[in-house]
């Protein structure tokens, strides 16, 4: 790489600080969607989180806790003593420190010089998780003696099963064994879900010609399998350690393992193959997979003077692929990806409204798996609806394994006033998730025209989510309308409200979508209609939908064009939010008020009405949009990482360039910025997807509305051009935008593509150039 190219692809830690471990463990994390590992340092420090996750292996510690993604044994574990001194960068003299994540190749490297007592060494390490083979990972460490006398080293590495989820141990002690003097295998099982995990690591250890390996031992403490090497390293010579490992689980879908022995044998066979190829070859295969599957397949280029524009986009895309289980539709994306214990690995509405668009437009095959996951969870959604006295399917606010159903914890942190734990009501009444699921499926169908998916999976979800809403209506005799009472909208600072605008409009849209789909199938695909009617009684559903659509209350703009967020929001107390909007930490307001007090104020946590206006832009006038922006944005604390990205895109739509840019700059720094504690519990998955959303939807002006593609560039003044590709209706489009023109080329050319630009309609067969003057 050239120096300029380095700036676009390398994320660096240039100064070691053991008090700021969490952020770098998260943002430098490695993964491939099957597994993810926080990038803890090789040596150990108080407060570190050595998390390794295998996607889909959810387990419940006991009946008082919800299911979570368990922390599997650590492969990158290392302990090192130099002349009796433990490697600890808080001691001795440290220089030339640098840790670097190469986003292009997925390799993490680290190097430094360390002097302690009469000894001096150069330390260089590298590690990766393979993007070519989901089961493979590796590390290489080189230690060079910089002193003038032999360097006594005790080097200990292996597999460490003492890891927990903040104290909860999800695995049995397991079986440990050493093969052929250098292959370690640790097989363990989750306690409740009984998922077997096999970790096999082949360790190669060598020293220079004049150095000696004085002793090699195998250690098997409780829940650990280790190899210890005692070495005398001569001046200027190297100690070279290479570990190539493979992880398998009984939940894998690429191979079926009938018993534990077959799982063990799969690991041993792969470990032997890896050691024959070696670290460099395994890394090369992984880097080539990154190039072919991601960077070379759907390139995106921002031409600007600030390298952070491109770097932040590359960083976001790297993490989106690191966290996404492209291999398995039984799994989805956690709110923290695979980079930390935050939110227990659970899936939220984040997937449908914020993450899914990236995959729909770039990798529709992966998007199909993400929406298929919701079909696999349909039984759990039906079960939740029935338990709550409703019909149809009520999707869990937090989802984990497809059979687990609602996974939201019941209790949260302490109330600042009462000192008692606060109940987490989201799992009970934040019900817009049900419409959000249908929304994501419909967006996938609109963009891809994947009718087979609709017939096989999607339509059934759309019908049963709509059926849920027909049973969720609250009949208001006084107002002769149907209300949706006692809910939480996107603004989670408002609990137990009636007629949250976002919830009501989304429910209406969900029911209307089902109504239109029933009519279309009945008229155009009568055989498919009959099949669904026999299975789901579409005739009765159509009657219920017509009734609810005729009576559901949809909050309308008042005389000032303000859409009430809920029935009481506009009558609540207004306070000065300046101290909290400018606070250096999230949820600063809870240091001054409890949730009950905040519930009685006009304070919004994140985009609520603004999100509604963004999603349904054709349903509201420009005057209404601007009036609600002016009203709600000053009342929003943006305490959710989802908020600023929505505001940036909406501001770009309104032509508010300065505001769009300000929110874009703030949103892209949530993980990659200077806040040292912002990512301690893991990266913010939806906010990272939001970087792509802001670039492509906000500034690129791409939108898909009711099945129609809209392209209206809103390039920032600081950008010269934006170049990207998208998939639309099975055609790959190459789009190049500047301030004065729009160039579009159909790279697939199997059929024309219709789109709109500035209210004008176009049909693209091969290439078009449109003036933006």
**Is 228 marked active-site?**
no
The three-state secondary structure class of 492 is coil
CA 392 from chain centre, in angstroms, equals 28
Of 208, 243, 190, 342, give the one whose Cα is nearest residue 686: 342
Of 457, 129, 66, give the one whose Cα is nearest residue 323: 129
Whole-number Å distance between alpha carbons of 114 and 121 = 6
Whole-number Å distance between alpha carbons of 443 and 362 = 14
Whole-number Å distance between alpha carbons of 271 and 429 = 48
Q: What H or E segment, with its residue span, contains residue 743?
A: strand 741-746
Residue 350 is labelled as binding a ligand: yes
Please check whether residue 203 is in contact with residue 182, taking contact to mean a CB–CB distance below 8 angstroms: yes
Out of 460, 492, 495, 737, the active site residue is 492
Please check whether residue 73 is in contact with residue 79, taking contact to mean a CB–CB distance below 8 angstroms: no
Whole-number Å distance between alpha carbons of 132 and 128 = 11
Whole-number Å distance between alpha carbons of 603 and 593 = 12
Structure tokens belonging to residue 144: 């060079």
Angle among Cα 190, 65, 589 to the nearest 5 degrees reads 130
Residue 20 is labelled as binding a ligand: no
Whole-number Å distance between alpha carbons of 149 and 121 = 11
Distances (CA, A) of 21 to 4, 27, 602: 28, 11, 37
Please check whether residue 700 is in contact with residue 755, taking contact to mean a CB–CB distance below 8 angstroms: no
Structure tokens belonging to residue 498: 């009636």
Structure tokens belonging to residue 103: 């986003």
Please check whether residue 614 is in contact with residue 649, taking contact to mean a CB–CB distance below 8 angstroms: yes
Structure tokens belonging to residue 259: 């018993």
The three-state secondary structure class of 533 is helix
Give every CB contact of residue 84 below 8 A, 6+ residues apart in sequence.
152
Q: What H or E segment, with its residue span, contains residue 145?
A: strand 136-145
Cβ-defined contacts of 515-522 (< 8 Å, 24+): 515/466, 515/542, 515/545, 515/546, 515/549, 517/459, 517/462, 517/463, 518/463, 518/542, 518/545, 521/459
Annotated binding site for substrate, which residues?
Answer: 349-350, 605-606
Hey, which residues are catalytic here?
A: 492
Q: Which residue positions form the known binding site?
A: 349-350, 605-606
């Amino acid at each position: 790489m050239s120096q300029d190219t380095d700036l676009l692809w390398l994320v660096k830690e240039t100064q070691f600080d053991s008090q700021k471990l969490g952020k770098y463990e998260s943002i430098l994390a490695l993964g491939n969607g099957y597994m993810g590992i926080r990038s803890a340092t090789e040596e150990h420090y108080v407060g570190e989180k050595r998390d390794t996750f295998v996607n889909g292996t959810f387990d419940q510690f006991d009946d008082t806790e919800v299911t979570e993604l368990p922390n599997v044994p650590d492969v990158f574990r290392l302990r090192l003593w130099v002349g009796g001194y433990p490697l600890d960068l808080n001691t001795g003299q440290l220089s030339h420190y640098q840790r670097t994540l190469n986003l292009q190749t997925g390799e993490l490297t680290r190097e430094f010089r360390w002097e302690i007592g009469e000894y001096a060494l150069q330390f260089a390490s590298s590690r990766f998780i393979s993007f070519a083979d989901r089961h493979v990972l590796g590390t290489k460490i080189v230690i060079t003696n910089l002193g003038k006398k032999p360097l006594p080293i005790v080097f200990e590495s292996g597999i460490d099963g003492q890891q927990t989820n903040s104290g909860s141990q999800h695995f049995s002690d397991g079986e440990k064994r050493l093969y052929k003097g250098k292959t370690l295998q640790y097989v363990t099982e989750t306690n409740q879900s009984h998922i077997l995990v096999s970790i096999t690591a082949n360790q190669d250890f060598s020293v220079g010609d004049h150095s000696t390996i004085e002793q090699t031992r195998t250690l098997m403490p409780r829940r650990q399998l280790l190899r210890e090497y005692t070495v005398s390293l001569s001046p200027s010579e190297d100690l070279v350690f290479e570990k190539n490992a493979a992880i398998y689980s009984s939940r894998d879908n690429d191979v079926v393992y009938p018993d534990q022995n077959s799982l063990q044998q799969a690991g041993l066979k792969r470990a032997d193959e890896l050691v024959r190829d070696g670290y460099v070859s395994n890394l090369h295969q992984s880097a080539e997979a990154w190039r072919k599957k991601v960077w070379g397949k759907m390139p995106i280029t921002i031409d600007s003077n600030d390298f952070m524009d491109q770097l932040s986009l590359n960083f976001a895309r790297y993490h989106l692929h690191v966290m996404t289980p492209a291999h398995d539709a039984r799994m989805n994306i956690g709110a923290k990806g695979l980079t930390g214990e935050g939110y227990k690995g659970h899936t939220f509405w984040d997937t449908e409204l914020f993450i899914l668009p990236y995959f729909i437009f770039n990798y529709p095959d992966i998007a199909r798996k993400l929406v298929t996951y919701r079909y696999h969870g349909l039984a759990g959604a039906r079960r939740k609806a029935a338990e709550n006295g409703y019909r149809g399917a009520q999707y869990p606010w937090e989802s984990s394994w497809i059979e687990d159903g609602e996974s939201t914890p019941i209790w949260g942190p302490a109330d600042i006033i009462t000192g008692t734990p606060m109940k987490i009501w989201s799992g009970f009444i934040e019900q817009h998730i049900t419409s959000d699921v249908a929304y994501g499926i419909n967006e996938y169908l609109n963009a891809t025209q994947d009718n087979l998916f609709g017939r096989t999976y999607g339509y059934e979800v759309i019908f049963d989510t709509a059926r849920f809403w027909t049973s969720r209506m609250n009949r208001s005799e006084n107002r002769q309308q149907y209300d949706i009472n006692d809910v939480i909208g996107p603004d989670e600072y408002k609990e137990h409200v009636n007629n949250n605008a976002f919830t009501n409009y989304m429910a209406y849209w969900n029911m209307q979508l089902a109504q239109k789909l029933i009519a279309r199938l009945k008229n155009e695909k009568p055989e498919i209609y009959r099949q669904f009617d026999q299975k789901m009684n579409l005739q009765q559903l159509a009657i219920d939908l017509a009734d609810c659509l005729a009576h559901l209350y949809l909050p309308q703009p008042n005389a000032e064009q303000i859409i009430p967020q809920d029935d009481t929001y506009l009558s609540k107390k207004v306070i000065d939010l300046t101290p909290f909007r400018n606070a250096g930490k999230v949820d600063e307001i809870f240091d001054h008020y409890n949730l009950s007090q905040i519930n009685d104020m006009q304070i919004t946590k994140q985009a609520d009405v603004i999100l509604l206006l963004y999603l349904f832009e054709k349903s509201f006038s420009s005057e209404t949009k601007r009036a609600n922006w002016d009203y709600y944005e000053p009342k929003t604390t943006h305490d959710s990482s989802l908020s600023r990205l929505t505001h940036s895109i909406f501001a770009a739509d309104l032509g508010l360039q300065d505001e769009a840019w300000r929110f874009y700059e703030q949103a892209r720094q949530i993980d990659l910025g200077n806040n040292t504690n912002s990512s301690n519990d893991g990266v913010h998955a939806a906010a990272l997807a939001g970087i792509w959303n802001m670039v492509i939807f906000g500034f690129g002006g791409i939108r898909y509305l009711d099945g129609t593609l809209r392209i209206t560039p809103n390039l920032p003044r600081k950008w010269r051009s934006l170049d990207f590709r998208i998939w639309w209706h099975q055609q790959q489009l190459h789009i190049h935008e500047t301030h004065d023109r729009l160039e579009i080329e159909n790279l697939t050319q199997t059929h024309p593509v219709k789109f709109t630009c500035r209210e004008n309609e176009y049909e693209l067969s091969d290439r078009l150039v449109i003036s933006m003057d």
